[in-house]
Structure 1
């Protein structure tokens, strides 16, 4: 949901980017869509992956939590003769939409879509002034609620962990001081303050507000928790031989996916100080390289691909394991949702 330690994708909160499916060739190669197969696209967006999968003859069940994406996709539904089902749903619930016999493939593109960035009223972009919102599903706690109501210590945790922002303390304290006089209402209100507090240096490749905007978006939409639950759901929904393909755009997401595939593979944990743990039955076999990044050529054409990473696996016949979120070692930020203080 896309930043990372170093590069930031343009969809982290910057200017508009024309929608181009990232790593499309690699995604299709990993999924192997074909007539008779049923593939679930858990992140429909503008339908780039979905249409490419349909073009290969497969049936697609596409999900998106954004009601605007569902509305915009109805023309694609009508044009594909019953081979596309488009459903408003969070992808953590994907197992509920899978057929009883299981899915042949699942693809997840973890990140905010370029359509959302382009809509100023959604509040995702610091370069397009609009309400400080950032809610993908247009409901629940907004970014303005977080900025105006969270305690300083909580803001530091959000910016520091979810945005990997080194100046999180300075920014949080400046927010506290300014909101005492007037609440933050627009993206420009927040971005303007960050520009003053942490001015952009000549060597900086990204806008100083990028990481804070990313952190707010990830927190507001519980993107890391959603991703973790979606991976567990995929384990239940895929049939043996089914393929799980995940494209991420920053290190936090990629770390979750990497840990998931490591935990669900047949690699036993251990060290020279500790005995080897009993090997578990592999739920996923590896598929190609452990990680695939976009080529320089694709990154030149599509800036959004610069930080993209693809990981994939093939479902085995092993039984489903308990959904233990502790394997991801995520901090507990759920208490912050109450917006205390």
Structure 2
């Protein structure tokens, strides 16, 4: 409704201003001063009308004042319509009345709009009778057509309003469905992250202890269990930035490998969820080196490639064929590839039996 009010107000201002100026120019010289005064009042009221509807205050008083002034304009045809314009359809008063009647169909309820159209149409016909009594019969079809225009405008507006409301309802339903999907996806992401963290911590520690022939000093096991509990402890999810170099250094120190690390000095702070995913993926990759590669050394490289962070883990161990990994082995799929995917990153694995393994972590996805 607000847009309709503003559109009708601007349309009235433009049409009335143009018609009033041209009407004054068409008047005889003797009648120009009075016609110009009336035209000036019509233009000034069109400006005031636009400002009033923009404020949306006291709409009933606005309608009463507006219809009173428009009625007065209709009755002033003896001073605003030159006698040479015998045809009622050529008068600027009829054009103004038509714009007013149509505008009321867009800004007022059905009964009020119909009453306003009847009032201004009747006032226009009375103005013709007062100015040119012999031509009112010829003016009657124009007045009736003005009412038809108003009815068509009302029908068009109701159709447009109904379609707009249907579109709004559809958009709201789509937004609700999208929000529900985002909430569900956030829950699934949190669940995947939790499962990946559980796999990297408690499950990895228990697996390390359960390997036949393994012997771990109690103080080492206690320290590892404490780190696992710290990572599994529930805490408020933070979305700020964090020093990626510090996180990766801490992760490397937690693994019993000889690791040659090379970090670019320009890594800088990184979005915390992405930094956590890079650290978690690095940790799982190093655990896989310990379990499966058959070597005690690895190389870790972290660098910034344009707007992306790239972390590469390379070993020269036994290697494997990624296509032959059994479905129940979820270390790479969930704790590396899946984890990077949840934060908008990517993980790729290149390996071949006997030629070692290279894992490349990227954030954001290139």
What's the TM-score once normalised by structure 2's chain length? Answer: 0.21
Q: Which fold has the larger relative contact order, with Cα–Cα distance below 8 Å and residues 6 or more apart in sequence?
A: 1
Structure with more of its chain in helix, by fraction: 2
Question: Based on CA coordinates, which of the two structures has the bigger radius of gyration?
Answer: 2
What's the TM-score once normalised by structure 1's chain length? Answer: 0.22
